[in-house]
A = this chain, B = another copy of it.
Amino acid sequence: MNKIKVGIIGAGGYGGCGAIELLLGHPQAEIRALIDKQDVGKPISELYPHLKGFCDMTILDPSDPNRPDDFDVVFFATPDGVGQKEARSWLDKGVKVIDYSGDFRFNDALTYKGYAARIGKSQDHASPDLLPRSSYGLAELHRRDIARSDLVGNPGCFAVSCILGLAPALKAGLIEPESIICDAKTGVSGAGKTPSPTFHYPARYDAMNAYKVSGHQHVYEIERECSLVASREIRVTFTPHVIPLCRGILSTIYGRLRSGENARSAEEAYRSFYKEERFVRVFGPGKVLTTTDVRGSNFCNLSVNVDERTGRLVVISMIDNLVKGQAGSAVQNMNILFGIEETSGLLRPGQYP
């Protein structure tokens, strides 16, 4: 088989870099072009010197008439608002699209509008007719949809950790659906490459904070997916925190156990739900899991606990926000889109310490 030809739009950000790193080691894909509005004309290895000798392709302007466009798939490793304007032209040429942002995570314009309001965007979706066509790129729950689709909305990093941590409980009816709280902690790389006062080293190295308390945009995806799994409308309380480390999301998820459920049934529900999944590892109580266990890899580690005294399920869900929470899921979705082995290019353990 010919290699899958990939174009990366927004190649200069952390999300683009993550895709490049993974695709360089992917046996069935090749990067055909790196596209970005910034740093046009520079080799990518000038921005990311660790790539020197591995990928020295020049960054091309999106509007450059000479840039290649014979892609099988494009990654929009771009912020909200770009993909919804530009995806159509690629789809029309038969190129599949994987978008990192929230642009294609929802199937209707109204839900999108609620999402967009939370990130300060008041405009309507630029391509509402594409929304029903998109699939939600969380492979563990939607791989059949993804396989039939040509437009994937890659999930939000927090959402990946929370949804994977909640789905088995909701599927098995372990918990009261109105009792869900997700307390999420993320490393700083999730905020991307652009400097800002709050991620300036001296301001961040010894500082943690909550932000967007009860107001983070990822809550919509989490609720939509939870509602789908539980077959009823679910709302969750979601609080994100920023922590002074680079890579890693740890979400601590709470729900009140339904009567009759216990630690054993909970662990069994999780093990059963994920028994075929290569990228989700389930652990029972008693084992301390750390975000470094998944750093640099596409895995989600889940620790399933029950607080007997208060009758609550407590699930700790961990991912690398730049891999399973972003570029890794994108590659996993690409593999599904093209019908190749879903784990291709993704079976890497990361590096320690």
Contacts and interface: CB of A to CB of B under 8 A. Distances in A.
Given A14-B353, A185-B241, 6 more contacts: A193-B202, A195-B197, A214-B306, A237-B312, A237-B314, A246-B353
A202 B51 CA distance: 17
A235 B309 contact: yes
Contact of A254 (B193, B237, B297, B348): B237
A142 interface: no
Interface string A157-189: 000000000000000000000100101010111
A144 interface: no
Contact of A206 (B17, B199, B292, B306): B292
Contact of A349 (B24, B194, B208, B306): B24
Tell me the number of copies of this protein: 4
Interface in A186-215: 187-189, 193-211, 213-214
A52 interface: yes
Interface stretch (A131-139, A147-155, A281-289): A281-289
Contacts of A188: 201-202, 205
A250 B208 contact: yes
Interface of A: 14, 17, 21, 24-25, 48-55, 178, 181, 183, 185, 187-189, 193-211, 213-214, 235-237, 239, 241, 243-248, 250, 252, 254, 281, 285, 288-297, 301, 303, 305-310, 312, 314, 316, 347-353
Contacts of A193: 197, 200, 202-203, 353
Nearest to A182: B183
B353 A202 contact: yes
Contact of A289 (B25, B49, B187): B49
A183 B239 CA distance: 10
B248 A206 contact: yes
